[in-house]
A and B are shown apart, each in its own frame.
Chain A
Amino acid sequence: MDNNGLLARIRRSEGASGLAIISPSAIYVILLLAAPLATVLLFSVLTSERGQIVLDFSLANYETVFSHPVYKAIMLRSLTVSMLVTLATVLLAYPLAYYISFHVPAHRKSMWLFLVTLPFWTSYIIRVSLWRVILGYNGVIDSALMDLGLIGEPLNILSNGVASIVITLAHAYAPFAILPIFVALEKVDRSLLEAGQDLGESKLRTFWRVTLPLSMPGVIAAVLIVFIPTVGDYVTPELIGGGKVPMIANMIESQLLKQRDQALGSALSVTVMMIVAVVSIIFLLLNRRFLRGQK
C-alpha cells in the first residue's frame, strides 16, 4: 500500500468527510466563541491595572466576587429574582399546558400552541418597554382601574422593582415554560389515568400520583429554560427596575465598560457561568432520578 492510496482512503472515509463539511461552522465557533470564553477564563485569574490586564496570577477577583458585600448582595438578588421568575413562570404555565394537553381537542392543539408562541416572536424590547408603560405611575393599569372607580390612588406597581421584573419576565418567558411541559404531558399514557381511577383513586389523587410525576421531566426542562436566560438578563432590570435593581448582567457591564476592570468583570462572567452550570447539573440529576423512578 503506498501513501497515496492511504491518503485517498482517509479522504473518502466518513469521518474525514464529516469533519470537512462541518469545518466552516466549527472554525467559526472556535474562533468567536471558544477562544473568547477561554480568554475570559484566563483574565478572571489575572489582575487589572488602570484598565490594562497584567500577567499576575491571583484569585483575588473571585475573593472580591464572593466576599465583597456589594457583589454578594447583587448575586443573591439576581439568584432570588430569577428563582422567583422561574417559579412564577412555571407555576402559571403548568395549568395552561395541562389544559392544552388534556382538554383541547386534538385538531385544535396546534392552533393553541401557535397562539401561545406568537407573542414571543414580537420584539422583546418593545414587549418589555410596554410593561413599563402598563405598570407605571398613572400608566395603563392605574388609569384603567381609576377610570372604573376600583381604586382611588394610583397603585404604581412599577415602584416595586422586584415585582415588576417578575411580572415582565414571567410574561416574556411564558412560551418557553409551556412548550416543554406540554410535550411531557402529551407523552403521559392516558390508560394509566383510567387505571388509577378504576382502582378508586380520586381525580386529584390520580393527578398527584400519576400525571404530575410523569410530567416532571417537562417541568425540569421548563425550569432550566427559564432560569438560564433570566439569570443573565440585562434589559429588564435596566428598563423596568430603572437601574435601581441591578442584576449580575448589569454589574458585569459596569465593571467591564465603566470601571474598565476587565479582570473582575471576567471573574463575574465566569461566576455566572458556574451558577448556570451548577443549577443545570442539579436539575439534570433530579431529572435522571425521575426518569429512573418511572422504570
Chain B
Amino acid sequence: MKSPSLRVYAIAYLLFLYAPIILLPIFAFNDSKVVQFPLKGFTFEWFREMTEDAQLGIAVKNSLIIAFSSATLATTLGIFAARASTRFSFPAKGPIMGLIMLPMVLPEIIVAMSLLIVLLSMGVQLSLLTIIMGHVLICTPFAVAILSSAFQSLDKSLEEAAYDLGETPFSTFRLIILPLVLPGIISSFLICFTISIDEFIISNFLGSGEAVLSVYIFGQFRFPAKVPSMLALGTILVLLSIILLTIAEYFRRRGIARTGGKDTGGFL
C-alpha cells in the first residue's frame, strides 16, 4: 500500500527536523559575519576565533567536570534504584520510585527554583557543586530507566546458581551481575553525560556565575557578532553528541544481545 502524499509529508517533516542541524555547518564555514543567504565563501575564521576564546575554554572545562561528576553519581544512584526495584519488593516502593522518577515530569524550572530557595536560605554558596547536585536529580530518572531494562533482562537463575556455588551476595554482584549489566551502565553514563552538558536551567540558576558551556552559549547568541563562532562551536558539539550516542546505542544493543533479549527500540 503506497501513499505518495504521506511519503512527501514524512520527508518534508524530516527536513523541518534537520533544518537547524543542516544550517549549522553551512554557516559555520561561511565567510560572512551575518547569517544569511547568499553564501559568501569558505572560511575557517570562525573556528579559529572560537579556539582563541579563553572564556570558552573555562566554560568547556567546567562543563566537563560537571558532566563527568553528575553522570557518575546519577549512574551510581541509578544502579541502586534499578537493582532494588527490579529484584525486590519492599515497603513504600511505589512512592520512593515515583519520587526518584518525578523530575522527568516536573518542569525543570520548578526543580531548579525549589532547590535554589533551600540552598539560599541555608546559606550554601553556589558553585559547580550545586550545579552537580541539581544535574544528578534530573539525570537519575534517565539512568534508572536505562538500567532497569538492563537489570530486568537478567536471568535470576544465574544469580541463584552463584549462591549455590558458595558465592556471597557481594561477590555474586561483582562477578555475575555487574558484567552482564555493564553495557547498560556505560550507556546510562553516556546519556547522563550528554544531558548534563546540554542542560541550561539548573546550570544557569544554581551556578555562581562561573562560565558553564550552555549558559555561555545562551549569553553569546545575544551578540550578533558572536553568532558565527557559536555556529562553529555548535557544529563541533553536534558531531560529538552524534559520536557519543552512536557509542551508547552500540553498548545498549550489545547489552541486550548479551543477556539474550530482543531489541525493542531506541532510548526513549
Q: Which residues of A are in contact with B by a Cβ distance under 8 Å?
A: 14-19, 21-26, 28-30, 32-37, 39-40, 43, 53, 92, 95-96, 98-100, 102-103, 110, 113-119, 121-127, 129-134, 138-140, 142-144, 147, 171, 174-176, 179, 224, 228-229, 231-235, 239, 249, 252-253, 256-257, 262, 265-266, 269, 272-273, 276, 280
Contacts and interface: CB of A to CB of B under 8 A. Distances in A.
In the A-B complex, list the 7 residue pairs whose CB atoms are closest, starting with the nearest: A232-B107, A18-B88, A18-B90, A143-B36, A22-B84, A36-B114, A130-B20
A113 B10 CA distance: 12
B56 to A, nearest CB: 14
A103 B4 CA distance: 10
Mostly, the B contact residues are helix
A115 B77 CA distance: 31
A39 B114 contact: yes
B35 A140 contact: yes
B165 interface: no
B108 A140 contact: no
Interface stretch (B46-54, B156-164, B234-242): B234-242
A25 B78 contact: yes
Interface in B69-113: 76-78, 80-81, 83-85, 87-91, 93, 96, 99-100, 102-103, 105-111, 113
Contacts of A127: 20-21
A140 B20 CA distance: 10
B194 interface: yes
B88 A15 contact: yes
Given A125-B198, A125-B217, A272-B107, A140 B117 contact: no
B36 to A, nearest CB: 3
B7 A118 contact: no
B81 A43 contact: no
Nearest to B2: A103
Contacts of A175: 268
B154 interface: no
20 contacts: A15-B88, A15-B91, A18-B88, A21-B80, A21-B84, A22-B80, A22-B84, A22-B90, A28-B136, A29-B100, A33-B114, A33-B115, A99-B10, A121-B194, A125-B198, A125-B214, A171-B20, A179-B268, A234-B200, A235-B201
A148 to B, nearest CB: 9
Contacts of A266: 117
Interface string B8-22: 011001101111110
A239 B217 CA distance: 11
B1 A103 contact: yes
Mostly, the A contact residues are helix
B166 interface: no
Contacts of A257: 205
A113 B266 contact: yes
Nearest to A143: B36
Contact of B84 (A18, A232, A276): A18
Contact of B36 (A18, A21, A40, A139): A139
B38 interface: yes
Nearest to A224: B105
Nearest to A122: B238
Q: Which of A14, A116, A123, A132 has the most CB of B within 10 A?
A: A123
